[in-house]
Amino acid sequence: MANDINLFLEENNYKKATLIGHSLGGRVVLQFSFLWPEIVEKLVVVDISPLSSIPRSFFTKPSFTDELSDSLRDIPQDMSLSEARKRVNDKIKPIISV
- Give the three-class secondary structure for 41: strand
Whether 87 maps to a domain, the answer reads yes
Angstrom distance (rounded) from CA 13 to CA 29: 19
Q: Which amino acid is it at 98?
A: V
Nearest in space to 63 (alpha carbons), one of 86, 96, 22: 96
Whether 76 maps to a domain, the answer reads yes
Q: Which residue has the higher pLDDT, 97 or 35?
A: 35
Enter the pTM of the model: 0.53
Average pLDDT over residues 61-86: 79
Average pLDDT over residues 65-76: 78
Residues 42 and 72 in one domain: no
Nearest in space to 76 (alpha carbons), one of 58, 64, 88, 61: 88
Residues 77 and 37 in one domain: no
Looking at residue 58, its pLDDT comes to: 47
Residues 42 and 71 in one domain: no
Residues 36 and 68 in one domain: no
Residues 8 and 34 in one domain: yes
Residues 7 and 42 in one domain: yes
- The domain total for the chain is 2
Domain coverage including residue 81:
56-96
Whether 78 maps to a domain, the answer reads yes
Whether 61 maps to a domain, the answer reads yes
* Average pLDDT over the chain, rounded to an integer: 81
Looking at residue 59, its pLDDT comes to: 47
